[in-house]
Structure 1
């Protein structure tokens, strides 16, 4: 018995020594002080539970990776940027009285891309409308198709996408397919092999180009981009899997939003893909600039679970890519700037409410100055710890006058920001630290009163199917449940 206790004691001591070493590593290398504290405390106090997660989530050779990625991006933006960036000034004609000249200036500098006029955008509400539009665009492709998703599954929807791309490749259309190596970790080799056998350029996105680093779960490419012939581009929250069509209980029906963009902004969206493709392959994809008439709008298709198209084709759009290699924390700063710019309202829908201190402070200050601040989050959970942390942030928000709604019919996954009555942003970024600092994301900001009204109508429909929470929910919660919320929030910097 004493011999066994000696071995147990040795293992416990070894775990604590390794925990202290890992904590020191976290303090030296974690990007934020909050994240460093969260890792250090958990590694010292509970090394048996946190050493393995830190191996996957915390450790990284981030500095070298970020520098290499940043240099490549800056080189591409200098030498290979779209011609439309030279022919149309960043803020030419932007209705600054609607958005504010300072916001226009700061966001163009933050994202490194111009505000471009002459676009048309339509919302694609939920999976059926989104993938019908995407498959229609692919079917009508004449020159090239680019596809990029965080998650691609080999299920019914993934099979349809594979067949559609193979069919176009056989017609001589160039096809480029990029998927995240961790988000699509269960994508079988036969799926990729079938695409490559058809002549489709297919590559995984990985932090380290030399091999797929299965130990590095951070710095994932969370973007969802499809573009066809430089004329139509799709961005939003949907990945490729039947759950995004609402076909996977208990999270169904799935609530998500994509947009279809036509016009000069398509070149900006494609350039985001070019940067990712070049990192993954060290080659530039071969496709030309969008056609000059690519802003021609589609026929209107109204409906709750469908597509809505505005007739106007002079919308101003800014494509805002963000990622862990940015010189600034682009995603977090975008949310802070958008919230600070709001004078009447700021409505945000997000599946995860785990903001950093800067964004949370901006939200509270907006509410205190009389702005209508609303946040729509899910009532169903897909990640236990994140959901528990989100609940506590929701209750804390109420004290500042922020209104929090929980979507009732199914899981809410859309990422939408509505600013006053003039601007809306839709894309892939969540309101959490992972999107702010650890993932590559893309948002498209539109400045157009008509489109903002369309987004408002969409969100009002969502609010009508939601339940507004109040402080009594937290006060009436069991003491153990409240404690678990607080424990979960301790880990919010690394969630």
Structure 2
């Protein structure tokens, strides 16, 4: 193969640097955070040979069609002063404790409502047994959305359950994320479609989306007949049942809720569905559950005008008066969440964070390690879960509030992914979550303030380098 002349090499280098400068200007104008903008600008200007291609995958910050639809739907359906919303709030008056979180309600345009029956689902076996039982009892429709669906034993069990309901005349709708489910074979969806199931891959852009790694739909939602809803951290795959070492046993949490907030859970699904198909779904109103818990569905994402996931955490942390326990597989908080956690310590709040002791994503784990040590120095108690990998996303505030959902404490969840959680105010449910987390902490090792100094110097350098990548992790 002949070598390129020096002049041609020079032209290629100049063109790469010119393209890097153009991309750097784009990054400067569209990157959401100053830290991210600095990282991209310097990388694109100085090392375009290594950063241009990743920027094509990670740098896109616009999907205007979805944003416009999202905002129009919020204006039409999510006005808290709308007469229908006011009537619903009068029928299901929220617990007085919801007042501490009214900023979240106003930010999302979603009301706190009482009248919910809640069920905590610990780990994959209990969660999927509950979801499959609900699906088996569906009479009208089933809505299913997961970030990851694998064509393994659990995925095939889901496939069979959905085909059975479709054959019984139930309308079945499935959404999955194209990147999260990148290894899902086309035959999986083909079998479902042949059996009458409506299944689509979520995309924020109808072109070039296969090359867009940002704006993934990380939500995990199941709704049956408009009155039974499930939300949490579990995807569909055998690893979520703890069948794939070395991450086994897999520790995760889901929950079921029945009551008026299920309407907002299925509304979040319907918005995604309408974007993909162009057709809204015919949805049923939730039936009365006989429960008393107050709940709000927090559906956040990059289409929002504000960084709603980050603000959700900030407000929930600020509401804590004596206890704040949270679990996350990835501890890479932004500056706002980090500051809120530190301020909670100064208020005398018992702040504890549970994170994994083993990685599923090496770079994120390294960055999390540094943030964990810095958190400990700030007075936050950080624990590493020992039996296996912990993937749960749970927040416990004081003695009455608990949130379960898909939100991680990393840049992807806080700014780039579509996420969803149920924020619940109920002392009985909070007590159940407390017992669950207390058992988790008992199986964890607390990080000591002196542990950082015991790390090998080169490892310390490595975790500091990993933190530089936090804006894109």
Please give the root-mean-square deviation of Cα atoms over the aligned residues, in Å. Answer: 2.3
Change (3 A) 1:193 1:371: same
Match of 1:226 among 222, 225, 231: 222
Match of 2:116 among 116, 119, 128: 119
Alignment match, 1:340: 318
- Per-residue deviation, 1:86: 4.8
- Per-residue deviation, 1:230: 1.6
Matched, 1:315 2:299: no
Alignment match, 1:58: 59
- Per-residue deviation, 1:170: 0.5
Distance 1:397 1:190 in 2: 46
Mapped contact 2:70–2:271 kept (Cα < 8 A): no
Classify the secondary structure of the residue corresponding to 2:251. Answer: coil
Alignment match, 1:463: 441
Alignment match, 2:365: 387
Alignment match, 2:198: 201
- Uncovered stretches (5+) of structure 2, i.e. residues with no partner: none
Mapped contact 1:319–1:445 kept (Cα < 8 A): yes
Match of 2:386 among 408, 415, 430: 408
Distance 1:327 1:36 in 2: 19
Mapped contact 1:121–1:262 kept (Cα < 8 A): yes
Matched, 1:262 2:258: yes
Classify the secondary structure of the residue corresponding to 1:129. Answer: helix
Alignment match, 2:268: 272
List per-residue Cα deviations over 1:332-365 (Å, max 9, x = no partner). 1110001111110111100111111000000011
TM-score with structure 2 setting the length: 0.94
Distance 1:106 1:91 in 2: 22
List per-residue Cα deviations over 1:223-277 (Å, max 9, x = no partner). 0000111221110000011111111111111110000111112112111111111
Superposition pairs of residues 275-424 of structure 1, within 5 angstroms: 275-292=271-288, 295-296=289-290, 313-424=291-402
Distance 1:178 1:112 in 2: 24
Match of 2:450 among 457, 469, 472: 472
Distance 1:280 1:377 in 2: 35
Distance 2:120 2:392 in 1: 12
Distance 1:485 1:264 in 2: 45
Mapped contact 2:234–2:254 kept (Cα < 8 A): yes
Classify the secondary structure of the residue corresponding to 1:353. Answer: coil
Classify the secondary structure of the residue corresponding to 1:346. Answer: strand
Classify the secondary structure of the residue corresponding to 1:354. Answer: coil
Mapped contact 1:206–1:212 kept (Cα < 8 A): no
TM-score with structure 1 setting the length: 0.90
- Per-residue deviation, 1:283: 0.8
Alignment match, 1:33: 34
- Per-residue deviation, 1:91: 10
Distance 1:177 1:76 in 2: 25
- Per-residue deviation, 1:32: 1.6
Match of 1:145 among 122, 142, 145: 142
Mapped contact 1:91–1:104 kept (Cα < 8 A): no
- Per-residue deviation, 1:76: 5.0
Distance 1:67 1:176 in 2: 23
Matched, 1:77 2:65: no
Distance 1:214 1:206 in 2: 8
- Per-residue deviation, 1:78: 5.8
Classify the secondary structure of the residue corresponding to 1:457. Answer: helix
Distance 2:66 2:42 in 1: 26
- Per-residue deviation, 1:88: 1.9
Mapped contact 2:94–2:294 kept (Cα < 8 A): yes
Q: After alignment, is 15-24 or 358-367 more displaced?
A: 15-24
- Per-residue deviation, 1:315: 0.3
Distance 1:191 1:161 in 2: 11
- Per-residue deviation, 1:212: 6.4
Mapped contact 2:78–2:109 kept (Cα < 8 A): no
Classify the secondary structure of the residue corresponding to 1:113. Answer: coil
Superposition pairs of residues 40-55 of structure 1, within 5 angstroms: 40-55=41-56
Mapped contact 1:90–1:113 kept (Cα < 8 A): no
Classify the secondary structure of the residue corresponding to 1:429. Answer: coil
